[in-house]
Amino acid sequence: MTLSDHRKYVMSLILVPYLINIKQLSDEAAIAKIKEWLSRCDKVKKLDSTYNFDYRIKYCINKCKTNRNLKPIRFEDKLHKSNLELYRIIKSKL
């Protein structure tokens, strides 16, 4: 598997919490950055056309705004426990 196989996970648990609760971007700015990232991802490997990315982005933003303590998943502390495959992919690139 490759990083492109984990885009939904990265979007939900890393990008949205980072953009909303760390960078404190507006919803519109965060959505624009995520869609730009997804567009680049789509060029590498086509996105799942049956997945409603717009709905999921808004859902994750609302979840982060409701819980301002929700931070991006920590690489060393938690990612290797929650998604070992993604952890190994990222670790191999460092």
Concatenate the DSSP letters of all residues of 21-52 into one string.
IIS---HHHHHHHHHHHHHHHHHHS---TTS-
Q: What is the pLDDT of residues 53-72, one digit of tens each?
A: 999 999 999 999 999 888 88
Q: What is the pLDDT of residues 33-55, one digit of tens each?
A: 999 999 999 998 999 889 999 99
Domain extent, residue 37, equals 3-93
Residue 4 pLDDT exceeds 80: no
Total of domains in the chain: 1
- pLDDT at site 89: 85
Residue 76 pLDDT exceeds 80: no
